Amino acid sequence: MPDFLLAVFQFDFNKIIEEILRDPLFINKVGQFETKNPLLFSSGLFLFLFLGFFGIYLLLRRKDGLRLTWVTFFSLYFYYKCAGIFWLLHVVIVVVDFTLALIMEQTRDRASRLALLVVSLAVNLGMLVYFKFNVYSELWCELTGSAFDLKKVFLPAGISFFTFQSLSYTIDVYRGHLKAERNMLDYAFFVTFFPQMLAGPIIRAADFLPQIRRPLFVSREDFGRAIFLITTGLFKKAVISDYISINFVDRVFSTPTQYTGLENLFGVYGYALQIYCDFSGYSDMAIGLALLLGFHFPINFDSPYQSLSVTEFWRRWHISLSTWLRDYLYIPLGGNQKGKLRTYVNLMLTMLLGGLWHGAALRFIIWGGLHGLALAVERAWKGWFPGTPGLARRILGGLLTFHFVCFCWIFFRAPGLPKVWEMLTQIATDFHPEVFPEFLTGYAPILFWMGVGYLLHLLPKSAEQQAQSWVVRLPLFFKASLILLVAMLVMQVKSSEIQPFIYFQF
């Protein structure tokens, strides 16, 4: 082994040993829920636990029942480490929706089937309403004029994701698109599967359930692709997203008036990159971890900032949510089949509810409403000016789309509407372009990682595919070395505290 790679290996190994020896109660970190230290893919504790979990998983590869039980228990433990006692919510959802779907399939009366579906909707959406729209929520405080205290808000991690995932199952059974699952263990495995439990992708039961009982097989290509996704996801999250967030974006959004309009504008550009790298980084790691376990998930992001329209943006951004909203909300409302006016109304309603899905606050409603309005305007525009746009219109469309999305991100990220107006006011009235040379010098590391992030994002799809193929062809030793090198880079740039994924709060 080359000395450099040996040093990297020893660095990581010694780190783990030192941590255990320094803390005689290290086992407490494994067994106890810590509110401020949830178990994250980017943490050393997760790596430590996953290696043990994966070893047992491989030993059980030919014993389906034990293997599925092992993964289900580990998934519930993983959620306990992220949300404490609220792991019981998964048990409630599994028992309720599994039972309702079985009864629904055996019931011929349409009204009775609809009543069963309503019960499923009430249980799943009731959880969302209870946790998101209670008297401590930002929206409630805005409507009542009371003071909002973020410390009083506790939202079980990923509740929007696993409730929507389970809802897709009962809705599909009601529609007759899917047979009810007969094995509760299989259904529990589907609902609780830990890689995508907390922040997606939202996997449909029709896509996932058939994979559960297939013989465990991970091809060389799947293994290489998993390594590529895990390392790129870790790089996007723990290097780019966390670094620009802690050192620049969070500070600007917290106190916009202490920064010039130029700094505020770059703070918005920084957040656009931060949320993409954070969320797509999680999705990449979730898809990669699932591949290591023998399960295939569809992509959740497809270079969204390359979009030439807002419509295209929503085909590339958080694909599992946008298609869920399309199939289970927009189309049932009538889609585009009931005239132009009704189509525009349906688009607005879908995006407004999509905004509420993200959080109970007026700023999320505005964010969703702006996107709904843009989708409606674009549909009308295409009706007025049909045909394929030329190069100039495509370039203009790309620039307008990116800046419109960035403008909407201000509402999404700001701690409240007053901060939104402060930031917009600074950009409009206190820009100070003359400080740009000093800005470049003072924020050189921030701008470097922002440049790297946007450059990688804007590369053509073929470049990503070539990089992935290169990783697939690497020998096992060099795949392991790649992971260690990325881990070492993370150690060099990370903050003292692990930063939770942005979408854990949704």
Residues recognised as catalytic: 358
74's CB contacts (< 8 A; 6+ apart) are: 53, 194
- Bond from prior residue into 386 cis (ω within 30 degrees of 0): no
The amino acid sitting at 225 is: R
**102 closest CA partner among 111, 113, 110:** 113
Residue 213 CA to residue 194 CA, distance in Å, equals 17
- In terms of phi and psi (left: phi > 0; alpha: psi -120 to 50; beta: otherwise), the region of 170 is alpha
Residue 27 CA to residue 283 CA, distance in Å, equals 29
H helices of 193-260, where? 205-212, 220-234, 242-244, 250-254
Residue 239 CA to residue 450 CA, distance in Å, equals 11
Backbone angles phi, psi at 182, to 5 degrees: -95, -20
302's CB contacts (< 8 A; 6+ apart) are: 315, 316, 319
Q: Please write down the long-range contacts of 117-120, taking CB distance under 8 Å and 24 or more positions apart.
A: 117/170, 117/171, 117/174, 120/96, 120/166, 120/167, 120/170
Helix axes 362-384, 417-429, angle to 10 degrees: 60
Residue 186 CA to residue 414 CA, distance in Å, equals 41
Q: What is the DSSP letter of 300?
A: S
**162 closest CA partner among 320, 313, 31:** 320
Give the count of beta carbons closer than 10 Å to the beta carbon of residue 17. 10
* Cα separation of the two ends of the chain: 45
**252 closest CA partner among 430, 366, 413, 450:** 413
**353 closest CA partner among 376, 324, 310:** 324
CB-side neighbour CA atoms (13 Å) of 406: 21
Residue 161 CA to residue 282 CA, distance in Å, equals 13
